[in-house]
Amino acid sequence: MKRFITFTLPLIALGAILIFFISNQQTHSEETMEQKKAATLPVVPEGHETATFAAGCYWCVEVVFQRLDGVTAVTSGFIGGHIANPSYEAVCAETTGHAEAVQVIYDPKKISYDKLLEWFWRLHDPTTLNRQGNDVGSQYRSAIYFHNDAQKTASTASRNKAQEKFPHPIVTEITKSSTFYPAKLSHQDYYRINGSKDGYCRAVIAPKLKKLKLEK
Which residue of the set 57, 60, 92, 201 is catalytic? 57
- Whether 60 is catalytic: no
Report d(CA 145, CA 54) in Å as an integer.
8
**CB contact at 8 A, 67 and 214:** yes
Give CA–CA dist 55/120, Å, rounded: 8
Pairing verdict, β 135-136 and 131-132: antiparallel
Q: Show contacts of 133-136: CB within 8 Å, 24+ apart.
A: 133/56, 133/204, 135/56, 135/57
Catalogue the active-site residues: 57
